């Protein structure tokens, strides 16, 4: 990870960590970088945060000052920016969003012309320009100054694309959608209405301050209650920029990314559409997923945490399906990034084609209880490699055997060690997590928050 760009773009509190000056410089560099041998074309989308508007204008100003043309999708989803970028011949795309973070944070995600996350070497050059390590870039003059164009038509074409993916009508099905007061509010209901569903929508009145606030994929209890109160057949919750999807079955039970990977992976394998009969997961996926995959003859790969690493593995090995427990699911035939609304449509396809409820489809997977505790430390590497900690982890691993696992890893964004245990009961999870955490405290590795 670089100084400003992490695994998911340049993110932080608006006007504190990420400022309009940063956005302007990102625009200036991208406009110049992609416009060295032609007039660059860059498409911009944003979520519903109050600060997204000022960043949109700052980016557009930087781009046009460098001679690029900026095309504004306005409020839209991250996957829609990726789709428009790769299908409509843009040099790159920019999404203004901090995903599932609170409203006061924001971020700049840059997508290359193939719809993938921007290459690390280009991010490094942007950072060097922001820090003044690269000389000032030339300003466009006269008729070379770029233009800004309203491009809502691009978003509408993406909506049409989603509708085209459905294999059957949703007529008569009661579907709930939690739009997280974010980007999905502009798109999700339109798609489901067009497909004939009886659509029930909550948290689709954004005011700039309520994005992700007690709603969406990170606060699934709201939707679980809504499903039961309204007798819905199925429901889906998205995050702020709609690249995640968490489902809820007809009984009000959560169906997370692991379960979605299982039901879609098994269905695709049965239909000869799962390359290598393999799904790509991260090291945080539940042990219950792997045990169910073994029984179903599904193979799996494990990557580091982050949809970026999932997609890299998928591209390298030509795999069809991958994702994270958090609901970032990638269907490589249809998209180059996680797409919450697309994921929901794929789940609907499995339900309709197999004529089974979501609860029935997921009953083969026994999700193991999982407990994660964060320990704030002075030095992550020292804490993780401490001999007493290593010994404690080995003892827990031996005690759990094949009926659980422990994972100790460094946070990528904080001075924190994450200790996670999966076991057959909540009590065992608590016991074994504390066994390792207590050693960290006894070794004076932990610090007060």
Q: Does the pLDDT of residue 413 top 80, yes or no?
A: no
**pLDDT number for residue 306:** 84
What is the total count of domains within the chain? 3
Has residue 160 been placed in a domain? no
Q: Are residues 79 and 222 in the same domain?
A: no
Q: Are residues 192 and 229 in the same domain?
A: yes
Q: Does the pLDDT of residue 1 top 70, yes or no?
A: no
Residue carrying the six token digits 């980007």: 183
What CATH number does the domain containing 420 carry? Answer: 3.30.310.50
**pLDDT number for residue 449:** 58
Q: Which long-range contacts (CB under 8 A, 24 or more apart) does 433-438 make?
A: 433/371, 433/372, 433/373, 433/406, 434/373, 435/392, 435/395, 435/396, 436/389, 436/392, 436/393, 436/396, 436/406, 436/408, 437/373, 437/375
Give the Cα separation of 306 and 323 in Å (integer).
Answer: 9
Q: Does the pLDDT of residue 414 top 80, yes or no?
A: no
Task: Give per-residue pLDDT as tens, 55-104.
Answer: 999 999 999 999 999 999 999 999 999 999 999 999 999 999 999 999 99
**pLDDT number for residue 305:** 85
Has residue 204 been placed in a domain? yes
pLDDT band at 363 (very low <50, low <70, confident <90, very high): very high
Q: Does the pLDDT of residue 159 top 60, yes or no?
A: yes
Six token digits for residue 215: 């709603």
As a whole-number percent, the residues of the chain with pLDDT over 70 amount to 99
**pLDDT number for residue 148:** 98
Mean pLDDT over 420-426 rounds to 94
State which of 362, 396, 424 marks the end of a domain: 362
Q: Are residues 30 and 128 in the same domain?
A: yes
Mean pLDDT over 148-176 rounds to 97
pLDDT band at 415 (very low <50, low <70, confident <90, very high): confident
Q: Are residues 342 and 400 in the same domain?
A: no
Q: Are residues 300 and 172 in the same domain?
A: yes
Has residue 85 been placed in a domain? yes
Six token digits for residue 62: 């930087």
Q: Are residues 186 and 329 in the same domain?
A: yes
pLDDT band at 288 (very low <50, low <70, confident <90, very high): very high
Residue 97 appears among annotated catalytic residues: no
Give the Cα separation of 384 and 390 in Å (integer).
Answer: 7
Residue 93, φ and ψ in degrees, nearest 5: -125, 155
Six token digits for residue 413: 């964004």
Q: Are residues 334 and 385 in the same domain?
A: no
Give the Cα separation of 169 and 195 in Å (integer).
Answer: 5
Task: Give per-residue pLDDT as tens, 206-238.
Answer: 999 999 999 999 999 999 999 999 999 999 999
State which of 98, 126, 154 marks the end of a domain: 154
Task: Give per-residue pLDDT as tens, 170-209.
Answer: 999 999 999 999 999 989 999 999 999 999 999 999 999 9
Instruction: Given the residues 52, 66, 99, 320, select the one marked as catalytic.
Output: 99
Q: Which domain holds residue 422?
A: 370-442
Which residue numbers belong to the known binding site for Mg(2+)?
99, 239, 241, 243
What CATH number does the domain containing 140 carry? Answer: 3.40.120.10
> Under DSSP, is residue 87 helix (H, G, I), strand (E, B) or coil?
helix
Which residue numbers belong to the known binding site?
99, 239, 241, 243
Mean pLDDT over 342-367 rounds to 97
State which of 154, 184, 210 marks the end of a domain: 154
Has residue 290 been placed in a domain? yes
Task: Give per-residue pLDDT as tens, 111-120.
Answer: 999 998 899 9
pLDDT band at 3 (very low <50, low <70, confident <90, very high): confident
Lay out the sheet containing 92-96: strands in order across: 5-6, 9-13, 105-112, 92-96, 41-46, 69-75, 148-150
Instruction: Please choose, from the candidates 413, 315, 416, 418, the residue with its C-alpha nearest in 3D space to the C-alpha of residue 2.
Output: 413
**pLDDT number for residue 9:** 87
Using an 8 Å Cβ cutoff, are 181 and 212 in contact?
Answer: yes
Q: Are residues 236 and 380 in the same domain?
A: no
Computed over every residue of the chain, the mean pLDDT equals 95
Residue 400, φ and ψ in degrees, nearest 5: -75, -35
Instruction: Please choose, from the candidates 347, 364, 432, the residue with its C-alpha nearest in 3D space to the C-alpha of residue 170.
Output: 347
Give the Cα separation of 295 and 287 in Å (integer).
Answer: 13
Q: Are residues 147 and 186 in the same domain?
A: no
Q: Are residues 334 and 420 in the same domain?
A: no
> Under DSSP, is residue 304 helix (H, G, I), strand (E, B) or coil?
coil
Residue 159, φ and ψ in degrees, nearest 5: -60, -45
Separation of first and last alpha carbons in the chain = 24
Using an 8 Å Cβ cutoff, are 135 and 162 in contact?
Answer: no
Mean pLDDT over 292-298 rounds to 96
As a whole-number percent, the residues of the chain with pLDDT over 90 amount to 91
Instruction: Please choose, from the candidates 282, 289, 357, the residue with its C-alpha nearest in 3D space to the C-alpha of residue 324.
Output: 282
Q: Does the pLDDT of residue 410 top 90, yes or no?
A: no
Pairing of strands 148-150, 69-75: parallel
Mean pLDDT over 396-407 rounds to 93
**Dihedral-angle region of residue 115 (phi above 0 means left; psi in -120 to 50 means alpha; beta otherwise):** left
Six token digits for residue 177: 């959608």
């Amino acid at each position: 990870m670089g100084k400003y760009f992490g695994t998911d773009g340049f993110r932080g509190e608006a006007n504190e960590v990420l400022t309009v000056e940063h956005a302007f410089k990102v625009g200036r560099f991208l406009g110049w970088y992609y416009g060295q041998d032609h007039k660059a074309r860059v498409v911009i989308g944003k979520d519903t945060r109050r600060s997204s508007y000022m960043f949109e204008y700052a980016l557009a100003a930087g781009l046009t000052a460098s001679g690029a043309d900026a095309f504004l999708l306005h409020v839209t989803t991250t996957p829609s920016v990726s789709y428009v970028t790769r299908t409509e011949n843009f040099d790159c795309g920019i999404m203004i969003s901090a995903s599932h973070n609170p409203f006061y944070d924001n971020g700049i995600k840059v997508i290359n012309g193939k719809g993938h996350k921007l290459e690390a070497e280009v991010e490094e050059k942007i950072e060097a320009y922001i820090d003044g390590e690269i000389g000032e870039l030339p300003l466009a003059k006269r008729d070379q100054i770029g233009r800004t164009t309203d491009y809502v038509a691009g978003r509408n074409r993406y909506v049409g694309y989603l509708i085209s993916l459905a294999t059957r009508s949703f007529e008569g099905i009661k579907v709930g959608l939690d739009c997280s007061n974010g980007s999905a509010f502009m798109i999700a209901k339109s798609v489901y209405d067009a497909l004939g569903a009886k659509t029930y929508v909550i948290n689709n009145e954004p005011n700039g301050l309520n994005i992700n606030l007690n709603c969406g994929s990170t606060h699934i209890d709201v939707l679980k209650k809504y499903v039961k109160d309204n007798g819905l057949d199925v429901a889906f919750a998205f995050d702020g920029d709609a690249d995640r999807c968490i489902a809820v079955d007809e009984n009000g039970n959560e169906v997370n990314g692991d379960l979605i990977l299982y039901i879609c992976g098994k269905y695709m394998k049965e239909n000869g559409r799962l390359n290598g009969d393999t799904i790509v997961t991260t090291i945080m996926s539940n042990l219950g997923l792997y045990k169910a995959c073994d029984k179903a003859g599904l193979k799996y790969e494990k990557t580091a945490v982050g949809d970026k690493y999932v997609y890299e593995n998928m591209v390298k090995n030509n795999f069809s399906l991958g994702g994270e427990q958090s609901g970032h699911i990638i269907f490589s035939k249809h998209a180059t990034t996680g797409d919450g609304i697309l994921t929901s449509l794929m789940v609907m396809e499995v339900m309709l084609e197999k004529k089974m409820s979501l609860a029935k489809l997921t009953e083969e997977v026994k999700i193991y209880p999982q407990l994660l505790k964060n320990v704030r430390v002075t030095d992550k590497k020292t804490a993780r490699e401490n001999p007493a900690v290593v010994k404690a982890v080995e003892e827990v691993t031996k005690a759990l055997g094949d009926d659980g696992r422990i994972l100790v890893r460094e946070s990528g964004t904080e001075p924190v060690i994450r200790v996670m245990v999966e076991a057959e009961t909540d009590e065992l999870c608590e016991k074994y997590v504390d066994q390792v955490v207590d050693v960290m405290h006894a070794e004076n590795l932990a610090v007060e928050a």
